[in-house]
Structure 1
């Protein structure tokens, strides 16, 4: 049986770069930028006034001139005048292009406009280039503006628009087929009998896929009857990423491993020395499709998706950063097993750090409610003492991605 790190490395070995598609900027939010973006021109493209006021030559100020004749007014979007004589100024608005020979802006709060069409400077201190954004001080033409891969978050949208990127090159996410299994599982709107449960994992997987903007092409529940299960799995394998829930343990009704083999799936590994999630199975088809058969208990399903499915997607999108971050655990934790244990953690309400709370095993449907991440209690450490630093995986799939 593989350790967690061995299983993770096998997942990484299956990573393949996703194809690229171009989507309208308005549809790019939370997609992953596939190509770096370069400046199409200087930014700013001209010397730009950062304040309403007047544009002067600093040499005139240094020569003792304090009252300037207003030659004209320049508004944003107007063509820039090219000359300015000694003792002259231009009245200028924020965002307007400053005449090349004028190198300093005096804001209007520091001026008196006289009836004689002059501007009198009140302040005693002026510095060359003040309140003036210099051409190309942000970006030079052809300079790298945005690195990739990068999540197209809200802060990036305006930048891409300013750069003229109306069609954004993003990675095309793999299509997904979901199959949940179990004779005891019923639809969520159905009233279960005493020995049945609602299909919560189907909606958990749908939500996790939505967070990654994965296109769901098929989603069905099937009983543990081998013929029906085989038909459902065969249909799901038409997609590029197949998520199966349940039927991978060692019980008499756990037919998934055998049926996958019959369908031509090569098993990468089955079972990992982790808790929860030990029965996890990962396989692939010759054409490169990958299959994750996740355990049926809710906490196990959640954990194995976050640990392994997201590891695969993370790599396919070209990200190389470490997914776990070191944080302080504000309360102690102990374990008896020799496995890597993963558990929900919560931000401590009173001080910096995280805490955790006991739950009732991998079937506990409320174990992750309100949690902020997944803590990792490594296999060779039985005790975590108060304020120890531990690895924590954020619930946000793109946390700490630059």
Structure 2
């Protein structure tokens, strides 16, 4: 049986770069930028006033001039006017293009305007270039503006707009087929009998896919009957990423591994020495489609998606940063198993630490409610001491890479 790290390395060996598509900027939120973006011109593209006031020549100040004749008024969006002579200034508004020979801005709070069309500076000292954004000080033409891969978050979208990127090169996410299994499972709009449960995992998986903007093209539930399972798997395998839930343990009704083999799936691995999620199976088809058969208990389903499916997606988009962050777990935690254990962690109010709380196993439907991440209790460490630093995986898929 593989360890967690061995299984993770197996997943990493399967990644292949996703194709690239271009989407309108207005539709790019939370998509992943696939190419770096370079500046199409200098930014700012002109010397820009950062304050309302007047623009003067520093040489005039150095020559003792303190009252300046207002030659012209410049508003944002105007062409710069003709050159000014000694002792003249421009009245200028924030964001306006400042003529090159006027190299210093005096803000209006430091001025008094006279009835004679002049502006008198009230300050005793000024500095050359103050309140003036110089052309190209943010970016020079052809400079690297945005690295990739990178998530198109709100701030990045504003930058891309400023750079004139109206069609954004993003990774095209793989189409998904979902199959949930189990005779005991009924849809959520039905009243289950005392020996039945509602199909929460189907909605969990759909939500996880939506968070990644993965297009779910096929989603169905089937009973633990080999012919029905085979037909459902064939339909799901028309997609590029196949998620199967349940039927991967060692029970008499756990037909999934055998049926996948019969359908030509090569098993990359089956079972990992982790808790929860030990029965996980990962396989692939000759054309490169990948199959994740996730355990049926809700917490196991959630954990294995976060740990393994997201690991695969990260790799396919070229992300190489370590996904786990180091945080302090404030209460101690002990375990009896020799497995890597993963457990929900919760941010402590008014502190930088996290806490955890006991749950009732991988079938506990409320175990992850309100949690902020997944803590990793490493296999060869029986006790995590109070306030010890441990690895934690954020629930946000792009926590460390935006």
TM-score grouping bracket, smaller chain normalisation? over 0.9
Other-structure match for 1:49: 49
Query: For residue 59 of structure 2, what is the aligned residue in structure 1?
Result: 59
- Aligned partners of 2:5 and 2:236: how far apart in 1? 28
What is the CA-CA distance between 1:195 and the residue it aligns to? 0.3
For residue 186 of structure 2, what is the aligned residue in structure 1?
186
Q: 1:84, 1:99 within 8 Å by CA — same for their partners in 2?
A: no
Runs of 4+ with deviation above 4 angstroms: none
Report if aligned partners of 1:186, 1:197 keep a CA contact under 8 Å in 2.
Answer: yes
Task: Give the conservation status (yes or no) of the 8 Å contact 1:18–1:317.
Answer: yes
**Relative to structure 1, is the Cα distance of residues 161 and 297 closer, same or farther in structure 2, using a 3 angstrom cutoff?**
same
- On the 8 A contact 1:20/1:169 being kept in 2, the answer is yes
The correspondence of residues 21-40 of structure 1 with structure 2, limited to 5 A, is 21-40=21-40
Give the Cα–Cα distance (whole angstroms) in 1 for the partners of residues 344 and 96 of structure 2.
54
Q: State the secondary structure of the residue aligned to 2:159.
A: helix
Distance 2:87 2:354 in 1: 64
Distance 2:389 2:323 in 1: 16
Distance 1:148 1:355 in 2: 34
Residue matched to 2:226: 226
- Could you tell me how far 1:110 is from its partner in structure 2? 1.1
The alignment covers a number of residue pairs equal to 402
Structure 1 residue 125: Cα displacement: 1.2
1:330·1:386 contact (CA, 8 Å) conserved in 2?
yes
Looking at structure 1, the residues matched to 245 and 399 of structure 2 have their Cα atoms a distance apart, in angstroms, of 26
The 3-state SS of whatever aligns with 2:379 is coil
SS at match of 1:160: helix
Cα contact 1:33–1:150 (8 A) shared by 2: yes
Equivalent residue, structure 1, for 2:256: 256
| 8 A contact 2:72–2:81 mirrored in 1 | no
1:249-288 superposed matches below 5 A = 249-288=249-288
CA drift at 1:82? 4.3
What does the per-residue CA deviation read over 1:192-236, in whole Å, with 9 as the maximum and x for residues that have no partner? Answer: 001000000000000000000000000000001110110000000
* CA deviation string 1:330-355 (max 9, x = no partner): 01111111100000011123532111
Aligned to 1:309: 309
TM-score (norm 2): 0.99
Flag structure 2 segments of 5+ consecutive residues without an equivalent: none
CA distance, structure 2, for counterparts of residue 400 and residue 350 of structure 1: 22
Say if 2:30 and 2:152, in contact at 8 Å, map to a contact too.
yes
Q: TM-score, normalised by structure 1?
A: 0.99
SS class of match (2:98):
coil
Aligned counterparts of 2:371 and 2:100: Cα–Cα separation in 1: 57
| 8 Å contact from structure 1 (residues 82, 100) kept in 2 | no
SS for the counterpart of 1:59 is helix
Quick check: 1:77 aligned with 2:107?
no
Aligned residue for 1:144?
A: 144
Match status 1:247 vs 2:234: no
- Partner of 1:228: helix, strand, or coil? helix
**What is the rounded CA distance, in whole Å, between the counterparts of 1:348 and 1:44 in structure 2?**
43
Instruction: State the superposition RMSD in angstroms.
Output: 0.7
Match of 2:204 in 1: 204
CA distance in 1, matches of 2:103, 2:182: 75
Change (3 A) 1:118 1:34: same
Structure 1: runs of 5+ lacking an equivalent: none
What's 2:99 paired with?
99
Matched-pair contact (CA < 8 Å) for 1:181–1:246: yes
* Residue in 2 that maps onto 1:124: 124
Instruction: Tell me what 1:391 maps to.
Output: 391
Distance of 2:368 and 2:178 partners within structure 1: 22
Inter-partner Cα distance in structure 2 for 1:337 and 1:376: 13
Residue 173 (structure 1) aligns with: 173
